[in-house]
């Protein structure tokens, strides 16, 4: 019986191999993609990324039956599941740069501002993302060399890319397909064509139904624009089917490395919530795509591929700052600097005089008595700063007080970088307290703000509601004392599960040249929600909750020590070893 079973399995595998080779040979020929010369002894890898899926939320989805194929892979021990730490910021660009190149330095968020060039950076524009890749990849080899990348931000040195922001390649997936060639491709995959048509129609009908309900149900959440039916179809159906189709072709061709990102779950969960029917439907659709790719990976064995399924970050349930407090963070900041601020209206090269600085010292003494202990400590630091400058440099020209109202706010989920253009360089907290005497105190005291992080002469200062943590510029040596750290009141990071790791991550974030002069984190609510600075009911980018802990599924025969992984760049050596 054992012999007969083995022969039946071998026959099935042979037939499947014949089917896939004939089908995808015709597709590849039509597309002008030649079958690669593959050494069967060389292992490749496939990374399937589910954007935004936290480890805990994957477990919940598995328990409720929303990811049956992924659960099956675990049950039969084909893959193992583990939680890992993506690091700060918990964003896609930082995670993908770390995984693909082992370097995500100076990627402080999804959005930030560069003072010296007056440039706003958002990781959606191909030119900016390409420049970012050029910087992080300098002297490093991408893990996708000779392979392919689909629907990613960076290409990891891939030879073939599709919907990849940083890629400006000479070869594209459909460049040799013209006119009726597209019809032939779909005729070679009739089930895929039928699925695209049916799913697109269903998405459109469901969206129209939601719009109809929104007309009669006050407060019904309908976040998308007028074009939303088409955007949802492109996001949830067309992109998803095309990138899966491309992965299947690459497996036939024997590409050494394949990386594709399914981002519909992240996109939908931001607006509808983690447990919403829309988010879970997107997750079920991705699970089905994984099933198709894994089936071909295991049945067409031209090259042995190791399969990895992972998320770049998680999502934490969120309450928008504007919804909770009636104004945006930027509007709140504007309200605070409109009163109690020393104003020096001037033009040209005029500078604040020593007499005016002396006047400021006296004003700071008066303000100090009216502030809380935390605010008073910042004012005292500002006082010392001004007093020192009066002695050694009473004509400091590093400030342009005519720009004291020029403040840039860049929000990424529950984290916001704040830049003050009175100085073209990163500013110390004492300088900010001097120019905006009441602002820092008002930020710290606001119910919706959990942490205010800034710098002071190289040190990193983390201020919370009940205390302040000051960190030295460099972490202590391994095995050495934790010298230089100072806590006043209660450590503001104690509420986090790993406060020492959070401190290390905040120290690194504050060291980035283009991090804000102050970095603000939304408050954490007792019910597991975080205040975020965008209009999202689930967010990432900041610190706290599931956003910090994505998942990874990896081959069952491997033993990965993920306890040592505290940043996405720590995964790079593992994948680089395939090169």
The more confident residue out of 10 and 215 is 215
Q: Which of 146-155, 215-224, 263-272, 544-553 has the highest mean predicted lDDT (pLDDT)?
A: 544-553
**pLDDT score recorded for residue 31:** 52
Dump pLDDT digits (tens) for 288-311: 999 999 998 998 878 899 999 999
| Mean pLDDT along residues 150-168 | 86
Taking the CA atoms of 349, 355, 359 and 360 in sequence, report the sign of the dihedral they define: positive
Are 543 and 231 in contact by the 8 Å Cβ rule? The answer is no
**pLDDT score recorded for residue 368:** 55
H-helix segments, 102-189? 126-136, 180-188
Give how far Cα 253 sits from Cα of 143, 171, 349, Å.
18, 15, 65
Q: Under 8 Å CB-to-CB from 501, ≥6 apart: which residues? A: 85, 566
Burial (Cβ within 10 Å: 0-12, 13-18, ≥19) of residue 28: middle
| Mean pLDDT along residues 224-249 | 66
Dump pLDDT digits (tens) for 523-559: 998 789 999 999 999 999 999 999 999 999 999 999 9
C-alpha 194/C-alpha 198 separation (Å) is: 6
**pLDDT score recorded for residue 179:** 40
Which of 150, 144, 190, 198 lies closest to 174 in space, CA to CA? 150
The more confident residue out of 506 and 361 is 506
**pLDDT score recorded for residue 86:** 97
Mean pLDDT (the chain, rounded): 80
**pLDDT score recorded for residue 280:** 94
**pLDDT score recorded for residue 299:** 84
Q: Under 8 Å CB-to-CB from 101, ≥6 apart: which residues? A: 133, 136, 137, 140, 142, 143, 154, 156, 572
Residue 440: how many CA atoms within 13 Å on its side-chain side? 37
**pLDDT score recorded for residue 5:** 54
Dump pLDDT digits (tens) for 323-344: 999 999 998 998 888 644 433 3
Q: Output the pTM of the full model.
A: 0.81
C-alpha 469/C-alpha 505 separation (Å) is: 14
Dump pLDDT digits (tens) for 400-413: 877 888 899 999 99
Dump pLDDT digits (tens) for 379-398: 566 556 555 555 444 444 57
Q: Phi/psi of residue 288, each to 5°?
A: -70, -35
Give how far Cα 234 sits from Cα of 227, 243, 273, Å.
11, 12, 20
Quick one: pLDDT band at residue 347, thresholds 50, 70, 90?
very low
SS3 content of the chain, % helix, strand, coil (to 5): 45, 15, 40
Taking the CA atoms of 48, 54, 60 and 66 in sequence, report the sign of the dihedral they define: negative
Quick one: pLDDT band at residue 353, thresholds 50, 70, 90?
very low
Dump pLDDT digits (tens) for 252-273: 888 999 999 998 899 889 988 9
**pLDDT score recorded for residue 134:** 94
| Mean pLDDT along residues 435-442 | 88
**pLDDT score recorded for residue 261:** 95
Q: Is the pLDDT of residue 354 over 90?
A: no
Quick one: pLDDT band at residue 208, thresholds 50, 70, 90?
low
Domains assigned to the chain: 2-315+547-576 (3.40.720.10), 319-539 (no CATH)
Dump pLDDT digits (tens) for 14-42: 544 545 555 555 555 555 555 555 666 68
SS3 300: coil
H-helix segments, 137-189? 180-188
Segment holding 242, helix H or strand E: helix 239-253
**pLDDT score recorded for residue 527:** 84
DSSP 475: P
Q: Under 8 Å CB-to-CB from 81, ≥6 apart: which residues? A: 55, 58, 74, 551, 552, 553
**pLDDT score recorded for residue 268:** 87
**pLDDT score recorded for residue 253:** 83
| Mean pLDDT along residues 495-506 | 94
Q: Is the pLDDT of residue 518 over 90?
A: yes
**pLDDT score recorded for residue 139:** 85
H-helix segments, 137-179? none
C-alpha 457/C-alpha 437 separation (Å) is: 19
Q: Phi/psi of residue 78, each to 5°?
A: -70, -35
Asked if the bond preceding 358 is cis, omega within 30° of 0, the reply is no
Pick from 78-82, 84-88, 93-97, 422-426: least confident = 422-426
Quick one: pLDDT band at residue 418, thresholds 50, 70, 90?
very high
Which of 487, 375, 506 lies closest to 430 in space, CA to CA? 375
Q: Is the pLDDT of residue 129 over 80?
A: yes
Tell me the helices (H) and strands (E) count for the chain, helix number first: 19, 19
Which of 544, 429, 573, 488 lies closest to 102 in space, CA to CA? 573
**pLDDT score recorded for residue 454:** 96
C-alpha 277/C-alpha 272 separation (Å) is: 8
| Mean pLDDT along residues 129-150 | 93
Return the exposure string of 507-528: e unless at least 16 CB atoms fall within 10 Å of the residue's CB, then b: bbbbbbebbbbbbbbbbbbeee
Measured in residues, the chain has a length of 579
Pick from 232-246, 400-414, 449-463: least confident = 232-246
- How far from chain centre, in Å, is Cα 553? 19
- How far from chain centre, in Å, is Cα 328? 22
Give how far Cα 373 sits from Cα of 261, 441, 461, 465, Å.
48, 10, 15, 11
């Amino acid at each position: 019986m054992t012999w007969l079973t083995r022969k039946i399995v071998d026959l099935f595998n042979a037939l499947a191999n014949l089917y896939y080779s004939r089908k995808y040979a015709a597709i590849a020929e039509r597309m002008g993609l030649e079958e690669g010369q593959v050494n069967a002894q060389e292992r490749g890898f496939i990374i399937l990324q589910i954007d935004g899926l936290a480890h805990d939320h994957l477990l919940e989805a598995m328990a409720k039956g929303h990811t049956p194929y992924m659960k099956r892979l675990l049950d039969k021990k084909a893959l193992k599941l583990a939680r890992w730490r993506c690091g700060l910021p918990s964003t896609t660009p930082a995670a993908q740069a770390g995984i693909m190149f082992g370097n995500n330095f100076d990627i402080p968020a999804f959005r930030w501002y560069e003072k010296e060039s007056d440039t706003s950076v958002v990781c959606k524009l191909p030119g900016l993302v390409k420049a970012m890749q050029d910087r992080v990849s300098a002297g490093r080899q991408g893990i996708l060399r000779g392979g392919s990348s689909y629907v990613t931000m960076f290409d990891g040195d891939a030879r073939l890319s599709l919907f990849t922001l940083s890629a400006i390649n000479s070869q594209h997936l459909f460049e040799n397909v013209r006119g009726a060639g597209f019809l032939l491709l779909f005729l070679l995959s009739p089930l895929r064509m039928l699925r695209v048509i049916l799913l697109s129609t269903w998405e459109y009908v469901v969206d129209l139904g939601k719009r109809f309900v929104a007309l009669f149900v006050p407060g019904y959440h309908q976040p998308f624009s007028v074009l939303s039916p088409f955007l949802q179809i492109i996001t949830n159906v067309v992109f998803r089917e095309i990138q899966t189709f491309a992965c299947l072709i690459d497996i036939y061709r024997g590409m050494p490395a394949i990386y594709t990102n399914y981002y519909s779950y992240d996109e939908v969960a931001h607006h509808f919530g983690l447990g919403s029917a829309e988010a879970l439907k997107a997750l079920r659709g991705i699970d089905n795509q994984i099933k198709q790719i894994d089936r071909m990976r295991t049945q067409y064995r031209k090259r042995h591929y190791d399969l990895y399924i992972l998320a770049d970050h998680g999502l934490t349930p969120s309450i928008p700052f504007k919804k909770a407090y009636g104004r945006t963070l930027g509007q709140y900041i504007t309200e605070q600097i409109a009163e109690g601020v020393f104003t020096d209206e001037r033009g040209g090269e005029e500078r604040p005089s020593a007499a005016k600085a002396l006047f400021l010292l006296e004003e700071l003494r008066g303000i100090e008595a009216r502030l809380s202990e935390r605010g008073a400590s910042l004012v005292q630091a500002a006082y010392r700063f001004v007093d020192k400058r009066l002695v050694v440099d009473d004509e400091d020209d590093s400030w342009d007080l005519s720009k004291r109202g020029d403040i840039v706010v860049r929000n990424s989920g529950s984290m916001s970088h704040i830049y003050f253009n009175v100085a073209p360089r990163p500013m110390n907290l004492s300088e900010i307290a001097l120019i905006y005497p009441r602002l820092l105190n008002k930020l710290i005291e606001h119910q919706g703000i959990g942490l205010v992080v800034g710098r002071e002469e190289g040190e990193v200062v983390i201020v919370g509601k009940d205390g302040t943590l000051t960190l030295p510029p460099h972490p202590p040596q391994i095995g050495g004392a934790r010298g230089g750290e100072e806590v006043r009141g209660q450590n503001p990071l104690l509420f986090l599960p790993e406060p020492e790791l959070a401190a290390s991550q905040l120290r690194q974030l504050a060291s980035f040249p283009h991090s804000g002069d102050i970095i603000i984190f939304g408050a954490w609510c007792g019910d597991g929600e975080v205040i975020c600075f965008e209009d999202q009911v689930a967010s990432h980018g900041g610190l706290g909750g599931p956003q910090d802990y994505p998942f990874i599924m990896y081959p069952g025969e491997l033993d990965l020590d993920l306890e040592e992984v505290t940043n996405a760049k720590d995964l790079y050596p593992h994948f680089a070893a395939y090169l």
